[in-house]
Amino acid sequence: MNTEFLILISGLIALFFAFMLTKGIIKSDEGNDRMKEISGYIHNGAMAFLKREYNYLSIFILIVAVVIVFFINWQTSICFISGAVLSILAGYFGMHVATKSNVRTAEAARHGQDKALQIAFSGGAVMGLCVVGLGILGLGAFYILFGDNIIYLTGFGLGASSIALFARVGGGIYTKAADVGADLVGKVEAGIPEDDPRNPAVIADNVGDNVGDVAGMGADLFESYVGSIISSLTLGTFLVSKFGNKYPNNEPVLFPILLASIGIIASVIGILFARKSKNSNPQAALNNGTYIGGIIVIISSAILSKVMFGDFKAFISIVTGLVIGMLIGKITEMFTSADYKHVKKIAEHTQSGAATTIISGLSVGMKSTMLPIIFIAFGIIISFYVMGGATNPSLGLYGISLAAVGMLSTTGLTVAVDAYGPIADNAGGIAEMSHLPASVREITDKLDSVGNTTAAIGKGFAIGSAALTALALFASYAQATKIQSIDLLKPVTLVGLLIGAMLPFLFGALTMDSVGKAANEMIDEVRRQFKEKPGIMAGKETPDYAKCVDISTAAALREMMLPGILAIVVPISIGLLLGAEALGGLIAGAVSSGVLMAILMSNSGGAWDNAKKYIEVGNYGGKGSESHKAGVVGDTVGDPLKDTSGPSMNILIKLMTIVSLVFSGVIYQYGGIILKFFQ
C-alpha cells in the first residue's frame, strides 16, 4: 500500500512545484501600461477561447458519459469524466500561466537574456508539471479506488484522448486561420511587418500560438502520458492474473507506476537544472535539463528492474523506448533543419519555382518516413523479445508498453520545453507591439529559435510514443475482447485494415479543408477592417481585435466537431457491424497509415518552413526574390500540414484505439451484425 501512495505524493510534488513557479512568475514585473494592455488582449482572447471550447466539450462529455453508464458501467464513466476534466484543468492552468509569462518574459528581456529565459521556461514548466501532476494524481486515485479493476481506468484514457483530439484539432485550426489571415492580408497585401499592432488579426495570431502550441500540445501529451501508463497497467494486471505466483507483490503493475513517479521527480530536477543554468546559450540550458532528467530515469529504472524482477529485461525495454524516441527526434531534425541536405535541396529547388518546391518537399516528407518506421520496428522487436515474448507473448507485449512508458516518463520536461517556445514567441510579439527596443526582440527571437529546434524533436517523440502507445493499447484491446488473433487472412480483418488505413487520409482532408475555410473567413474580415476603417493603417484607429479572435474561435469550434465525432463513431460502428477482429484490423490500419501521414505532414511542413527561412537569411536571392516567393508557397502549404492535420493524426490513432478498448465489452457481446447475417 505504501508504494501505491508514492504515486499520489509524486503528483502532489509536481503540482507544488508548478504552484511555486507560478508564484515566482506572477511576482515578476509586468512592464509598462502598453505591454499590460496587449498581454491583456492575448490573455483574455485565449481564456475566452478555452471557455467557449469547454462549453462545447461539456455537452460532449455529458453525452458520452451517459452512453458509457448505459453500455458499460458507472465506474468507467466516472473515470472518463475525470480524465476529461483533468485534461481540461491542465490546459487551463497551463494557458493561464503561459499568457501571464509572455509579457513578463518581454519585460525581463529588457534587462538581459538570463532572466527572460528563466521566466519563459518557468511558464512552460508549469504546463509540463500540471500535465504530469494531474495525470498521475487522477490515475493514482482511481488505481487505489478500484484496485485490480484496471479496465475502468481505460475510461480515464478515453476522457483524456477525446479532449486531446478536440484541443489539437480546434487549436490547430484556430492558430492557422489567424496566422494565415495575419500574414496574407497584413504582411503581403498591406505590407506591414509581423506583429504590427495595426494588423487586426495580430492578437488572434498571438492567441493562436497559445491555443495551438500550449493548450493543444499539452492535451496531446497528457493523453499520451496517461495512455502509456494505462496500457502497461492493463497488460501488467493481465500478467499478474495469469502468472500470479511469479509476481507475489504485484510487480508488473507497480513497476510502471513507480517508474512514472520517478519520471516526475526526474522532470522536476531537470526543470530546476535548466532554470538555474547560468549558461549564455539557452539551447545548452534546455539540453542540460533534459539530459539530467533522462539520466535519472535510466539509472532508477535499472535499479528498479533489478530489484523488482531480478534482471535487467524491463530496464532494456525502457531504455529501448527512450533511445528510439531520441533517434526519431534526431531524424526529424535531419529532415527539417536547414543544417542538413534535405532542406537545402528544397531551397535549391525554389529557384525553378513553386511547383518544384512543392514536389521536393513532398518527396522529403515521404522519404523521411523510412527511418522512423524502421526504428519503431526495432523498438517493437527488441522490447518484445527481450522480455521473453518468444515464449510468453503476454510478457513481450508488456515489454512494448514499457518502452512507451519509458519514452514518456519525462513528459513533464518535454512539455516544459515545448511550451516555452510559444511563450518566447509571444514575448517577441508583445515587445514589437509595445515598441520596445530592438535588443528585446533580439533576445526573444533567440529564445524562440531554440524553442523551434527542440519542438521539432518533441514532435518526433510524440509520433514515436503515439505509435508504441497505440500498439500497447491495441494489445490490451485484444485481451479485453478475448479474441485469439487478428487474422489478416480473414476478409473482414482486411476490410477493417483498408478502412482504417483510409481514415487518416479522410481526417487529413477534413482538417485541411477546415483550416482553409477558417483562414478565408479571417482574410475577409481583415480586408474588411482595412477597407472600412482607413484610420487603422495610419495608426489613428484601433483595429477590432476581438472580432478576429471571435472568428478564429467560432471557426475552430465549429470545424473540430465532425473529425472528433468521426474518430469515436467509426470504430464503434465497424466493431458492431463487422466484429472485433475487423475492428482490430481497422486499428492496425489506422496506426500504420496514421503514423506515416503524421511523419510526412510534419516533416514536409517543417522542411518547407526552414527552407523559406534559409532563403530569408540571404541564400538564393534572399527575401523578396523569386526563390523566396516559391519558398513562401511551400511554407504556406506546409502550415496546415505540420500544425493542424499532422499533429492530429497521433491523437486520432490513439483515440480510436482507446475507444475500441473502452467499448470492447459491447463489441465482444454484440459485434459482427453483418457477419451474423451471412451465416
The residues in 247-306 that bind a second copy, with binding defined as CB under 8 A, are none
Evaluate whether 12 touches 133 at the Cβ level (below 8 Å): yes
User: Three cell numbers at 474?
Assistant: 491495441
- What are the angstrom distances between the C-alpha of 672 and each of 257, 295, 484, 574, 577? 36, 48, 16, 8, 5
Cβ(252)–Cβ(398) below 8 Å = yes
**Interface pick for a second copy out of 62, 284, 370, 569 (rule CB under 8 A):** 370
> Tell me, what DSSP letter sits at residue 579?
-
Of 660, 454, 653, 472, nearest in space to 571 by CA = 660
Minimum CB–partner distance for residue 200 and a second copy (Å): 18
Exposed/middle/buried for 278, CB within 10 Å: 0-12, 13-18, 19+? Answer: exposed
Interface map 611-650 toward a second copy (x if CB under 8 A)? ---------------------xx--xx--x----------
Angle at CA 146, nearest 5°, toward 142 and 150? 85
Q: How far is the CB of 513 from a second copy (least distance, A)?
A: 5
Cβ nearer to a second copy, comparing 284 with 390:
390
Q: Which residue has the cell 519558398?
A: 631
Q: How many residues bind a second copy (CB under 8 A)?
A: 82
Output the smallest distance, CB 65 to a second copy, in A: 30
Q: Which is nearer to a second copy, 106 or 523 (CB)?
A: 523
Q: Is 508 in the site for a second copy (CB under 8 A)?
A: yes
CA–CA distance, 673 with 561 (Å, rounded to integer): 28
Interacting residues with a second copy between 165 and 194 (CB under 8 A): 184
Q: Considering only residues 47, 67, 494, 537, which one is a binding residue for a second copy as defined by CB under 8 A?
A: 494
Comparing CB distances to a second copy, the nearer of 145 and 509 is 509
Figure out which of the listed residues 64, 204, 400, 576 binds a second copy, where binding follows CB under 8 A. 400
Position 495 contacts a second copy (CB under 8 A): yes
Binds a second copy (CB under 8 A): choice among 396, 422, 458, 606: 396
Task: Candidates 79, 253, 523, 651: give the one binding a second copy (CB under 8 A).
Answer: 523
**89 is an interface residue for a second copy by CB under 8 A:** no
Closer residue to a second copy (CB): 278 or 678: 678
111/341 with CB nearer a second copy: 341
Non-local (6+) Cβ contacts of 512 within 8 A are 640, 641, 644, 645
The amino acid occupying position 28 is S
Angle between helices 370-386 and 580-616 (to 10 degrees): 130
* Interior angle at CA 415, CA 223 and CA 237, nearest 5: 35
Q: Name residues contacting a second copy, limited to 207-236 (CB under 8 A).
A: none
Non-local CB neighbours of 116 within 8 Å, separated by 6+ positions:
105, 106, 108, 109, 424, 427, 443, 444, 447
Q: Is 412 in the site for a second copy (CB under 8 A)?
A: no
- 137's CB contacts (< 8 A; 6+ apart) are 8, 11, 12, 15, 86
The minimum distance between CB 572 and a second copy, in angstroms, equals 17
Binding a second copy (rule: CB under 8 A), the pick from 322, 596, 653, 656 is 596
Residue window 551-590: x/- pattern of binding to a second copy, with contact defined by CB under 8 A: ---------------------------------xx--xx-
Q: Nearest approach, Cβ of 329 to a second copy (angstroms)?
A: 18
Closer to a second copy by CB, 128 or 504: give it.
504
Query: Is 2 one of the binding residues for a second copy (CB under 8 A)?
Result: no
- Closest to a second copy by CB, 400 or 443: 400
Using CB under 8 A, pick the residue from 84, 318, 346, 362 that binds a second copy: 362
Q: Give the residue among 36, 44, 180 at the shortest CA–CA distance from 550.
A: 44
- 176: cell is 492557422
Dump the DSSP string for 67-108.
Answer: HHHHHS-HHHHHHHHHHHHHHHHHHHHHHHHHHHHHHHHHHH
HSE value, Cβ hemisphere, 13 Å, CA-based, for 409: 39
> How many C-beta atoms surround the C-beta of residue 617 within 10 A?
9
Position 364 contacts a second copy (CB under 8 A):
yes
> Binding a second copy by CB under 8 A: which of 512, 567, 615, 653?
512
Residue 277: its H or E element:
none
Q: How far is the CB of 632 from a second copy (least distance, A)?
A: 8
Extract the C-alpha cell encoding 284. 545548452
In the complex, the smallest distance separating the C-beta of residue 383 from a second copy, rounded to whole angstroms, is: 9
Q: According to the binding rule CB under 8 A, does residue 360 interact with a second copy?
A: yes
Closest to a second copy by CB, 67 vs 675, is 675
Q: Among the candidate windows 88-96, 215-223, 373-381, 619-627, which touches a second copy by CB under 8 A?
A: 373-381
Interaction of residue 123 with a second copy, rule CB under 8 A = no
Q: Which is nearer to a second copy, 279 or 520 (CB)?
A: 520
Using left for φ > 0, alpha for ψ between -120 and 50, and beta otherwise, residue 542 falls in: beta
User: Minimum distance between the CB of residue 679 and a second copy, rounded to whole angstroms?
Assistant: 5
Binder of a second copy out of 156, 384, 461, 614 (CB under 8 A):
384
